[in-house]
Amino acid sequence: MESSSVDIPSMTLRDWDGIGVHMRQAADVVVVGAGINGLSAAALLATKGRSVIVLEEQPEPGGAVRTAEVTLPGFKHDLFAMNLGLFAGGPVNAALGQTLAQHGFALVPSAKPFCSVFPDGSMLGVEADVERTIANVAAVAPEDVAAWQRLTEQLGAWAPYLIGILGSDLPSWSAVRTLLKARKQLGMDGVYEMIRLALQSTRAFTEENFTSPKTRALTASWGMHLDFAPDISGGALFSFLETIGGQLFGMVIGKGGAACMINALVGTIEANGGSVLCGQRVTEFLVEGNRAVGVQLADGTQVRARRAVISNVNPRLMPDLLPAQLRSEPVVQRARTFRPGLGTMMIHCALDGLPPWTASEAASYNYVHIGPWLDDMARTYTQAAAGELPDSPTLVVGQPTVSDPSRAPEGQHVLWVQVRMLPLELADGRSWDEAGEAYADQVMAKIEQYAPGLRARVLARTVLTPTDLERANVNLILGDSLGGSHHPAQFFFLRPVPGWGRHRAPVRDLFLCGAGTWPGGGVGGGSGAMVAAKVK
């Protein structure tokens, strides 16, 4: 097996050399950051006739959505995000789906989105079919079938209102109207139950509804995708939506890699007269009369915005991009308190076969969760928050070639391993550059416990530590892959911090999008769509 140091190449799906040579100096809208939300806002505005310039510091667009051959030629790895389900069902794809398809955007659905494996060699999986999923629950945890059916019915009744809130700016009259509709259809008790779910911990939710430790772990593992350990308030909502929703809404990935979505958004922008310019570092937002009028680049170039500036930048970084005379204002300084979530490591492997899971059916799922139990997940969070390397990290093992074999040579596979959660900084004083490879060995050894013989199938491996994540995308502060913690104190109408809500900075015509704004992390494009609707 080869193990490589990190040197992330440009996307394999499109050559970005030469972009930015012919840069215009003004546009209706200037977008800073070519992540999913910045590109979504730009594409929506460009198709409405607005002139748009997108400026990106990295040599290629995509932010936390990038595809590259980082192990061996022919093996296409989604470096960070893989699941495109939120985007597929979101407002940007609804508005631009046909256009994006013309520019190469194609989705591959998953019949078996995710499962959890357990030390006794068993597994519990959610399929994109309610009856098959219930049969899986019945085989492993028959005592939880009735609760699973009840929660499935509950999500069906609640979905229009939960989705309505997630798709509305907060606070807004749209959100109020959604709640009023919910009250009419569900009664006040139903509304109270939804609010309670939004504030509940995953442990409380799972213990209230399930008896089997395996059903509880299957559900709680989704909280660990964000920064919701089992005992953190607010984790129940996401776990409920993803676990129960997985059988109703399924999961999709991008054909040939998630970068097909990025390429399609860029193609849409360019086809409508806009520009996406890479290798362009913005050093300051230009403000005149408390109104954003453009940006200044590292080389001194000014790019003027006639209508608005949109920032797809982590809110914590925003104060240093504002003019010096504004940085000391209390409302501006408040953005510096925006807290990151804990860190993430990515491990990418080229394989000559799928992992030989002891629970053999796990080889047919796109995501395999290894927790394995709520207490392990809780201990992982506590250790990581204290700067210690977790002895049993929660793992999300992605097997994209199960449904999209085009990502690897015939008969071979790519493995996508997300390690959750890790310290932002190590308490023993070591850097992640020093600790990364050895800890990745520990992670692979843990997977080997559930898939004996995996090590022999690994042809090459590349490790991206939390430090590497920040190097690849400045918004991933200290390796926080979430773009900011999702704990209740900085979520919903409080995201990112008071005074910076409703996707607006404390400067007129300077709008915010990205994971650090509502509705938070995930590859959905929702905040980009909300900002595009404001700018018009």
Dist CA 66 CA 184 (whole Å): 43
pLDDT tens-digit profile of 328-350?
999 999 999 999 999 999 999 99
Q: Is 259 helix (H, G, I), strand (E, B) or coil?
A: helix
pLDDT band, very low/low/confident/very high, at 93 (cuts 50, 70, 90): very high
Residue 129 lies in a domain: no
Give the mean model confidence (pLDDT) for residues 372-381.
Answer: 98
Q: What is the pLDDT of residues 173-216, one digit of tens each?
A: 999 999 999 999 999 999 999 999 999 999 999 999 999 999 99
Domain-embedded: residue 87: yes
Mean pLDDT of 67-78: 98
| C-alpha dist (Å) from residue 14 to 87, 185, 473, 511 | 21, 49, 19, 29
Q: How far is CA 535 from the centre of its chain?
A: 24
Q: How far apart are CA 38 and CA 92, in angstroms?
A: 12
Q: How many domains does the chain have?
A: 1
DSSP string, 27-82: EEEEEE--SHHHHHHHHHHHHTT--EEEEESSSSS-TT--EE--SSTT--EESS--
Average pLDDT, stretch 440-456?
Answer: 98
The one-letter amino acid at 218: L
Tell me the residue type at 202.
Answer: T
Q: Give the 3-state secondary structure of 85-135.
A: HHHHCCHHHHHHHHHHHHCCCCEEEECCCEEEECCCCCEEEECCCHHHHHH
Is residue 501 one of the residues assigned to a domain? yes
Mapping DSSP to helix (H, G, I), strand (E, B) and coil, where does residue 313 land? coil
According to the model, what pLDDT value does residue 25 have?
81
Is the confidence at residue 9, as pLDDT, over 80?
no
Asked whether residue 487 carries a pLDDT value surpassing 90, the answer given is yes
* 485 assigned to some structural domain: yes
Q: Decide: pTM greater than 0.75.
A: yes
**Mean pLDDT over residues 142-159, rounded?**
97
Supply the range of the domain harboring residue 94.
Answer: 23-108+256-339+481-535
Instruction: Confirm whether 76 is domain-assigned.
Output: yes
**Side chain identity at residue 509, one-letter code:** D
Average pLDDT of the residues in 116-124? 98
pLDDT at res. 6: 56
User: 501: domain CATH number?
Assistant: 3.50.50.60
Give the number of residues written for the chain.
536
What is the maximal distance between C-alpha atoms in the chain?
66
The pLDDT of residue 1 is above 70? no
Q: Does residue 55 belong to any structural domain of this protein? A: yes
Mean pLDDT across the chain: 95
Mean pLDDT across 29-47: 98
Spatial neighbors of 438 by CB under 8 A, at least 6 apart, are none
Q: Is 82 a member of any domain?
A: yes
Whether 269 is covered by a domain: the verdict is yes
pLDDT of 18 reads 38
Question: Which pLDDT tens digit goes with each residue over 11-33?
Answer: 444 444 434 433 448 999 999 99
* pLDDT tens digits along 224-262: 999 999 999 999 999 999 999 999 988 999 999 999 999
